[in-house]
Amino acid sequence: MITLDERVILWLAVEEYAELWEVVWQLRSLRPRDSEADLGQVATTVVAGLLQRGWVNLYRCEEPYGELFEIPRDEAEGLLADEASWCEPAAEKVSIRIGATASGEEVYRQWRI
C-alpha cells in the first residue's frame, strides 16, 4: 500500500530530479495546516521510506542544473537528517535532489492505472 504523501513525492521523483525543498513545498499543498516542522518531519520520513524501498535515490547537483551525482545509500540517510539539505540553495551551491529508480517508476505507473 502506498500513501498519498508517498505518491506525491514519488511523482516528483519520476517527473524530474526535484530538490528536497520542493518535496516540502509539494507536501504543503496536501497539508496546508501543518507547521514547517511537521512538514519537514513528514518529508524526511517519506523520502527515507522511499529510499529504503529502493524507489528513489538522492543526488548532489551544483545549481543551477549541474551534473547529478548519485549519493550512496549509507550517506543518504545522514543527509536527510541535515536541515541544510532541505533548504533552497543559491546559485553555484550544491543541492540535494531526489530521482526515481526503475522500480520506483514502475510503482508509479502501476498506481496511475
Confidence at 113, pLDDT banded by 50, 70, 90? very low
CB–CB of 14/108 below 8 Å? yes
Decide if pLDDT at 19 tops 80. yes
- Exposed e or buried b per residue across 72-101, where buried means at least 16 C-beta atoms within 10 angstroms of its C-beta: eeeebeebbeeeebbeebeeeeebbbbbbb
pLDDT tens digits for 32-83? 999 989 999 999 999 999 999 999 999 999 888 889 999 999 999 899 999 9
Tell me phi and psi for residue 108, to 5 degrees. Answer: -60, -45
* Nearest partner of 13 among 108, 78, 113, judged by Cα: 108
Topology at the third CATH level for domain 4-112: Arc Repressor Mutant, subunit A (1.10.10)
Residue type, 99: G
Question: pTM value?
Answer: 0.91
**SS3 helix, strand, coil % of the chain, rounded to 5?**
60, 15, 25
pLDDT tens digits for 81-106? 999 999 988 888 999 999 999 999 99
Confidence at 112, pLDDT banded by 50, 70, 90? low
Interatomic CA distance for residues 23 and 8, integer angstroms:
9
In degrees to the nearest 10, what's the CA dihedral of 89, 86, 43, 41?
A: -150
